[in-house]
Amino acid sequence: MAELDADDEAALSLKALLLPQGKGTLVFPGDIRYILQGLPSVDDVSDGEWLMFEQETVAHAHRLYHDVGADVALTFTARCSAPTLEKEDGGIRMEDANARAVRLAFRSASPFVVGVLGPSCLDDAEDDEAAERAYEEQARCLVSKGVHGLLLDAMPDIHHLEVAARGARYAAMSRTLGAYRPLIGSVALDDAHNLEDGASIFDAIAMAPSMGIACIGIEGLDSVSACALSGRLAEAAGAAGITVLVRIAAATERRERTDLSRLDEMKAIETATSDLAQAGIRLVGPGHGAGPEAVGVMADVFDQLDL
């Protein structure tokens, strides 16, 4: 067996942290586009174009999340699969966009860099088989460039999660690419805390181990919901033998916030992070509408609890 390099060793450390019996905490970053909002023509520029033509802006966003307390950098590649890039018809190759994204994420100096695969791959592919191949190709590219794990980001239903996991798992387990890279699944919830197909978050948690997923991320819970569900989420994860990552969404839209409502939001995130930690959930990050400020609050809570 080939000798493990530094990235392989980091992958093994990340795998250990994601185990149910793992020690320590992880604060994940928010969306890169949260920082890009407000820049000229942000909605007219694709993720691939940001990576290829505005790389310093993307690198700055990664560094900003790291500087306020994020332990992980997530590659800006949720919409950089081959089917999605081909559909956008911008002349950007999957291999080039993903390689650039990994390099920019490593510039954050975060201890762990995790490659991101998004739901648009399946949405833009011809069929499930083509999507599975595309997920594998993108995951292999990300792993070959040194990422320490893979995140299947914000999957809207169980079917998306299954297809992405099948493709990514082949790359994650490939010995020719070094040590095993852990898979983190992630599902996006609606206002009723269900997936688009009607499955609940508890269904997703129970099914995740059969897909080779070590940790299941949850998108769509605000601070109040995260507090209310913390105990049940921890219990369900324990029964399934996996860990849970809760990405806490903002309760108000960014453009609607006043100074007072922003302070209230941060206080709510502080309380939710503490409740999650007390329940045994050690992995958190900001969800929709939340950014660097939330990362800083979460990191401070973990530091104060001395977990």
Q: Is the domain 10-15+24-188+195-305 a CATH 3.90.1150.10 member?
A: no
pLDDT tens string, the chain, 307 residues long: the values are 456 788 889 999 999 999 999 999 999 999 999 999 878 878 889 999 999 999 999 999 999 999 999 999 999 999 999 999 999 999 999 999 999 999 999 999 999 999 999 999 999 999 999 999 999 999 999 999 999 999 999 999 999 999 999 999 988 887 566 668 999 999 999 989 999 999 999 999 999 999 999 999 999 999 999 999 999 999 999 999 999 999 999 976 666 666 667 788 999 999 999 999 999 999 999 999 999 999 999 999 999 987 6
Cα separations in angstroms, 33 against 211, 239, 273: 29, 35, 23
Q: Is 1 exposed, middle or buried (0-12, 13-18, 19+ CB in 10 A)?
A: exposed
| Cα–Cα distance for residue pair 101/72, rounded to 1 Å | 14
- Say how many Å lie between the first and final Cα of the chain, rounded: 36
| Cα–Cα distance for residue pair 7/179, rounded to 1 Å | 8
State pTM to two decimals.
Answer: 0.95
Q: Is 203 exposed, middle or buried (0-12, 13-18, 19+ CB in 10 A)?
A: middle
Domain boundary assignment for the chain: 10-15+24-188+195-305
Q: Is 285 helix (H, G, I), strand (E, B) or coil?
A: strand
